[in-house]
Amino acid sequence: MRRMMIAATLFVVTLLASGGSGVAQSGDKEVEEIYLLRTLRHGRVVPSDFCAPTKTGFAPALEDQLSIHSVAVRPSDGRMTDTGENSIGEMRVCIGQAIDPTLLGTYTEGQLNGIAFTGVGDCRLVRGNVPEEGILTHRCFQALSGLPEPYVGGFLISSSLYSRTPFGAESSPPGYAQAGIAIIRLWKKRQP
């Protein structure tokens, strides 16, 4: 899974760095949209009825509110140069712990550029206190559904970093891009 996430990230960074628009095409029929973005956590509360186990499939422990922001990548080498001043969406995430304490079940409802989606998947704690004391890193995968026409599905993968200051853009210790750097792929129904 880690190799798949690295390969997907490199594909998108290469696509964007080479002047690609983040859109895969088949002839002149667009069937895929790819977004590289950043998420910021703005709130965490005791789970509300929004996170009911009948909806999420697990007993929730946390409920997070996140904003989604666009990013910019330098075309010459793929390095991220802007970590997201423009808000392009939001997510509400239910989080529940599985039997494995490093694995968290996730249920998300959100919108990206006005496109509503539901995500179901998991996040795994990768490391604690690396690269510094007080830093936690996670990797996540969610299958996306509940999309409007003409979308038929998609997925979200992310690499997240949380510091001792778990909300907003400023990390503690400073200098890290919290919270998540993510790729969203959306697939459209092929038109004849």
Q: What global pTM score does this model have?
A: 0.82
Closest by alpha carbon to 91, among 138, 41, 46, 150? 41
Distance CA 96, CA 93 (A): 10
Express each pLDDT in 7-53 by its tens digit: 444 444 434 443 334 555 444 578 999 999 999 999 999 999 999 99
Residues 77-90, mean pLDDT to the nearest whole number: 89
Q: Is the pLDDT of residue 149 over 50?
A: yes
Distance CA 30, CA 19 (A): 17
Distance CA 185, CA 87 (A): 18
Residue 154 carries which DSSP code? E
CB 7 within 8 A of CB 131: no
Structure tokens at 17: 């760095």
List, as one string, the DSSP characters of 126-166.
Answer: EEES-SSTT-EEEEEEEEEE-PPTTEEEEEEEEEEEE-SS-
What does pLDDT average to over the chain? 85
Q: Any idea what the Cα angle at residue 92 is, between residues 54 and 79, rounded to 5°? A: 135
Structure tokens at 31: 């069937």
pLDDT of the residue at 20: 38
